[in-house]
Structure 1
Amino acid sequence: MRRWFGLGSFCSRVVYSSSSREGAGWRRTFTGHTTLNSTQVQHWGTVLSKRLCHSDLGDLYKNESVQKYLQQLMEEYRELSKKLQHAYLNETDRKELTMKHTELLPLANVLQSIEQALKDLEEVKSLLTGSAGSKDEDKQLTQLLKEEEAQISRRILGLRKDLIKALVPTDPLDPSNVLLEVVSGRTTGGDICQQFTTEMFDMYQGFAFYKNWDFEVMNYTSAEYGGLHHAAVRIVGEDVYRYLKNEGGTHRVQRIPEVGLSSRMQRIHTGTMTVIILPEPIEFNVNIDPKDLRIDTFRARGAGGQSVNTTDSAVRIVHLPTGTKAECQQTRSQLQNRDTAMRMLKARLYQSMMGKETEQRQTTRKQQVGTRSQSERIRSYHFSQDRVTDHRTGYVTRDIKEFMRGGEGLDEMISDVLEHAEREALLEMVVNSNSSLK
């Protein structure tokens, strides 16, 4: 009876939150009694093990440097609480201290919730120890206690993950729209690069549709055999830059080409293409003196409508002091192409104006383009092995044709890379913070 009353008292104190955030990255789960063959088991084992390595930010809670950083923040919070209790503070100091205290309050609340949950867990474990070896009539109580223990453990993991997410440094450019460019590589046998560039363009267009973003084509320069030399698009939507900022870099493909000169050799070829991501901040002002611009018009080179290839509607704008260029040949209207090219030029100039600090945090256009060599690749697409591998995290996924549609598969890989980047950013911030205290 004492154990029953103890459990009732315990349950009245614990409020369980929804576990909808738990395992947010685990979109696919196996239910029922589906039978998998050995190949499927090996495949899913590989995918799940790769994903587990980087998707659980909550693991950082046990990191020694993170623990020191949390202690530092909690000491600051308690010190602020003491100072705010003094009546002699002037209005300016009180306002400043209150602002800092408010910023740390959510963190302190989560830490207190974790501490209380740990106490509750210890109490349940103590009740379980006391019920060991009891009579058959207590088996139901033991089962309830085990379920209680599992629920509290899951809650603690969820709280720890929420805590770590709250510590991750925010990027002020995350809400921005982006200018995305795809550029064919310079590898020998360029037709495979151009073919792959077309597929990558289609993949990002599919991803924009999947995320309900607007996809505005600004420039599209076709190549032979249905390939693509270069394309530039503007993508507008919610947190576009946050999701796409890590896509910039060299992407490698290995396959037997379906079209072009390389397809006649019937062997696996390797090619590359480059993705360039430029943020388009919501509020930015780039003052450009018209005297610093050279505006050229020319006849569009790519496939288009009746007037696109027969009139000088394409526009190229060069910013003479920096040599920055932007061009658009997408519409029949020279005026529209000029406006689009100016928007691209301003975004590129803004990128170069962000300074050394931002250049260290975000890969610049020049760094993203690099030499387009295979050694700089961030991701490989192995069509013959039906596999896509991200080299920054080791994340592996299958069903490459479905992946290239730009739907859930790409979304999961992008989320994994994003969490890995956030993890690294947090560790760097924590280490730098701890070092400054020494």
Structure 2
Amino acid sequence: MSLLKCSQMLVNRGSRLRCLCSCVVYSSRGRRAGWRTLTGHTSLKFANITQVQHWGTVAPTRFYHSDLEDLYKTESVQRYLQQLMEEYRDVRKKLQYAHLSETDRKVLIKKRAELLPLAIVFDTIEQTLKDLEEVLSLLHSSAGTKDEDEQLTQLLKEEEVQISRKILDLREDLIKALIPTDPLDASNILLEVVSGRTTGGDICQQFTREMFDMYQGFASYMNWDFEIFNYTTAEYGGLHHAAVRIAGENVYRHVKHEGGTHRVQRIPEVGLSSRMQRIHTGTMTVIVLPQPVEFDVQIDQKDLRIDTFRSRGAGGQSVNTTDSAVRIVHLPTGITAECQQSRSQLKNRDTAMGVLKARIYQSIMGKDTEQRDSARKQQLGTRSQSERIRTYNFSQDRVTDHRTGYVTRDIKEFMKGGEALHDLISDVREHAEREALLELVESSRLKPPESGQSAH
């Protein structure tokens, strides 16, 4: 085979690959850099991907790309993929039946539309694997030759690396397409920070203020709006409680896993605890409630108790000399909301009503009584150290998330709410998404086939 002929064949194959991959719905472009080197891809029929390790990059903290590849090769995920592809082929076959009722046809068309993006990526992977096999076959046949075939061998090796990388990208796209989506991910949120009840209250209150500042910094980093609803200060520059509305792109998707108990370990610089000059431990709680763009909670005015009082928060004498602060209690549920930020009682009342509706909305999202009240109560918990999701150890300059084992240093930089916090939040979110996919795969294995569908 001449060099010219083989080169032309590679060009044609590359064009075909680009055409196939341009059909993929779930694009892999836009991913953040910093994944670890991908190695050891030698399972099942993908054992021929041998050059992948040469193009990976090493990262100190982010491993999502490699984790997705490992997840793709999991037996349960492979079985689930085959099940979905069989279901897709079954739906396409049934749509050809002439005797289908209009109702059945609409159901099948909808199902086909749901499965089509997955089928496109799956078929593209299959075709790309065939292209890789052809390249490897040519490499094998050209082994041992010299002269002009050395140039051909180099071209084939470069093509092998490109195709191998494309296969990994497509697998990643496929796994991301399988991850269950949360319909509330695009929602704005109501975020609350609450000082803990542990010994050394000034430690908890100071840490609560720092956490509030951290999330305000994160909102700025993400270009989100940050609107304060309530801000109740404490002694020594601390904070008892604050509630804010954060609005922007996919706020709930990024912040929803921040809810829970956060623990601090440090030698206090101010307050009563600072006199003892030893490491103290305290806690605070973060509560995250989604505020969907469109939600309507009907509240009967007779079910409300509205109290007014003088603001206890920051704002100066002009705020504190009038009863402008408002607290609203929903009597049937006991859910409470308050606002004291504005000098206008009417504005504070409107804001508190918005907070109340968000909490009531969250409380009715579940399927039963326990679920209806779980979102806020589970995050609030008892505020004890045993329920912590993250520890901020100032003495050792370390932040540890106990759900994933993620560790980061330079705690002062972390508390600014910039890139370091973003990386940790991304790691927790990606871990939760992988867990959600595995749970979906397991539940699909146990779920009986739907009526009228063939069992797979």
Q: Normalising by structure 2, what TM-score?
A: 0.86
- Equivalent position to 1:223, from 222, 234, 238: 234
CA deviation profile, 1:80-133 (whole Å, cap 9, x unmatched): 111222333343332322221122111111000100111111122222222222
Residue 430 of structure 2 is aligned to residue 416 of structure 1: no
Q: Which structure is richer in relative contact order (CA contacts within 8 A, separation 6 or more)?
A: 1
Whether contact under 8 Å (1:246, 1:417) holds in the other structure is yes
- Equivalent position to 2:312, from 286, 301, 305: 301
Residue 227 of structure 2 aligns to a residue in which SS?
A: strand
More off after superposition, 373-382 vs 19-28: 19-28
Equivalence map 1:265-284=2 (5 Å)? 265-284=276-295
CA deviation profile, 1:151-185 (whole Å, cap 9, x unmatched): 11111111111111111111111111100000111
Residue 355 of structure 1 aligns to a residue in which SS?
A: coil
- Equivalent position to 1:69, from 62, 66, 80: 80
Partner Cα distance (2:33, 2:402) in 1: 20
Residue 98 of structure 2 is aligned to residue 87 of structure 1: yes
Partner Cα distance (1:141, 1:386) in 2: 54
- Equivalent position to 2:214, from 182, 196, 203: 203
Partner Cα distance (1:50, 1:62) in 2: 22
Give the aligned partner of residue 454 of structure 2.
none
* 2:5 partner letter: F
Give the aligned partner of residue 24 of structure 1.
31
Residue 408 of structure 2 is aligned to residue 397 of structure 1: yes
Residue 9 of structure 2 is aligned to residue 9 of structure 1: yes
Q: Normalising by structure 1, what TM-score?
A: 0.90
Shift of 1:220: 0.1
Whether contact under 8 Å (2:218, 2:417) holds in the other structure is yes
Identity, % of aligned positions: 75
Residue 284 of structure 1 aligns to a residue in which SS?
A: coil
Gaps spanning 5+ residues in structure 1: where? 30-46
Partner Cα distance (1:211, 1:363) in 2: 28
Equivalence map 1:107-186=2 (5 Å)? 107-186=118-197
Whether contact under 8 Å (1:179, 1:235) holds in the other structure is yes
Partner Cα distance (1:240, 1:358) in 2: 27
Equivalence map 1:35-46=2 (5 Å)? none
Residues matched between the structures, number: 422
Partner Cα distance (2:413, 2:207) in 1: 15
Whether contact under 8 Å (1:74, 1:108) holds in the other structure is yes
Residue 408 of structure 2 aligns to a residue in which SS?
A: strand
* 1:100 partner letter: K
Whether contact under 8 Å (2:28, 2:172) holds in the other structure is no
Whether contact under 8 Å (1:55, 1:420) holds in the other structure is no
Partner Cα distance (2:105, 2:187) in 1: 35
Shift of 1:398: 1.7
Partner Cα distance (2:164, 2:370) in 1: 41
Whether contact under 8 Å (1:167, 1:426) holds in the other structure is yes
Residue 320 of structure 2 aligns to a residue in which SS?
A: coil
Partner Cα distance (1:250, 1:125) in 2: 54
Give the aligned partner of residue 53 of structure 2.
none
Quote the RMSD (CA, aligned, Å): 2.6
Gaps spanning 5+ residues in structure 2: where? 37-57, 450-456
Give the aligned partner of residue 397 of structure 2.
386
- Equivalent position to 1:342, from 353, 361, 369: 353
Whether contact under 8 Å (1:51, 1:395) holds in the other structure is no
